[in-house]
Structure 1
Amino acid sequence: MSRRIHRIGDSNDGGGVITTNPTATDVFVEGAEICIEGAIGTGHPPCPIVPVHCGGAWQTVSSGTNVFAKGIRVIAESDIDTCGHVRIGGALNTTMA
């Protein structure tokens, strides 16, 4: 099953948008920097009731892909963030296994 690569600006199923990677990757897909494990993003429901969903409190986590940028795993569709929300969508024309 191929999964779409996630980039800065892509969201999870709770509406949390990736804003910042832990380090610059210098790798761009369809005009946006790819997302790597440990990226943070915007707040989304049920923030502030459940603080882990607030901006900067959650991080992206890879499901164990073998695709890396600067030695860090790349994030893709269906990966689950530390807040429990699932990565949806992503790059339209760039996928990985």
Structure 2
Amino acid sequence: MTADPRARMQLRVVSPHKLLVETEVLEVQVPGLDGYLGLWPGHRPLNACLGQGELIYKTVIGREERVTIRSGLLQVANDKILVFTDMEDDD
């Protein structure tokens, strides 16, 4: 992880029907199967299954955003976070 306040990550959240989120973020919290996982710039590569809960991310302007998901898959590499998910209300 890095202490550089300018460090960013690219977050993409995709459902079977649409792209839900595509933005630069400062940090992300995702619902893992055994609790929440925190992701910050410089995180080592990771693949994980996600459980039901809220995916929470902080935008580059410091605003906290949330997406409710039922389950999914997470991939983290090179400050890029990709989440494949079903969401609670995928209309």
Same fold flag (TM > 0.5): no
Higher relative contact order (CA 8 A, sep 6+): 1
Which structure shows the bigger proportion of residues in strand conformation? 2
